[in-house]
Structure 1
Amino acid sequence: MENLRNFVIVEFVDGLQIVCKHWKNNNDFFYPDGIINKNKYYKLVSKMVSPDYQPEKCKWSLHSFIKIYGSDDVFEKAVKKLQIAENYSDVNTDTDINNAKSQRRIRAKKMYDSDSSTQSQSQLHHPVTVSSSKQLKYPDPPKPIASSSTFKMKTSNQNMELLDSCKF
């Protein structure tokens, strides 16, 4: 933890926040309790104000932290890292459970019956389910070409003569 950069993303008991590395005291961080406005708080952090600084309505107190998510030397990059940590961390597990993707279901295959030409258009759009016991019959594959000795290779001279005789 000694190699922290200037701005540290820390998880406290009540959430994530950016703090200045100079606010660290052993295993706790000083935190200005009286500041409610986010912009005023970010101004204190970006200027790396010392905990000795006592503006109006600001009282510094020690708070224990749960986890350090990252740090950066540039304040704007630390703010971006804070947003990423808020979005992808397991801090808000109850909302992650609600947004979890449901399992994909395997559905029965549908076939459309188009054998009779007398069916109406509405009947053609109704699917017919295929039971698993019925097997679809595929057409027979084409027969291989028999190799015969009737084909002769022509030489390039014969090909040239053939081309000369043809009029394009």
Structure 2
Amino acid sequence: MEKQAKKVPKLLRKTAGRSSCSIFQVPQSLMKIHSKAFQPQIVSIGPYHHGKVELEMIQEHKFRYLESILARASVGYDDFYNAIANMKAAIRECYPESTKIKYGGREFIEMMVLDGCFIIELFRKFRGERDDHNDPIFNVPWILHSIMTDLLMLENLVPSSVLHTLFGLSISSSSNVPEKKD
């Protein structure tokens, strides 16, 4: 019994009690009641559901959206990657469970860049700034609704600081940013 008391927690980090910790997993007691209500059905965002086979359909579209955002931005992928890499420790503190165990540094940063750029580009296109009118995400009626539902899932998030940083880079000195009309 004494050995158990000295055991250091591996999954729930000491930083879980800090205000920076904001993206939690749904408690198992709630998952047992109705697990589908808490699990994304079509797209994974962030580390909790990353790599699940049943969520792979949208993964190729994430890369397409990344290419789209990079085509408009005056900076390259390395700039996005480096900006998020500089924030890696703060990003990890947003998750109470140790994402370090599951994802190494490079994979974690690449996931944040890809998922963050996907969300930014999805909202841009949703606002009507579509350059591809054959985009299946917007042309197949059920896909967009499913993605929007998944983006509201508690475990399916990236920190807002990631979105803010990537969005800032995507428009910082881009000459293709449309002017707001009154």
Same fold by TM-score, threshold 0.5 exceeded? no
Of the two, which has the highest radius of gyration? 1
TM-score scaled to structure 1, two decimals? 0.23
User: By percentage of residues, which structure has more strand?
Assistant: 1
TM-score (norm 2): 0.21
Richer in helix (by share): 2
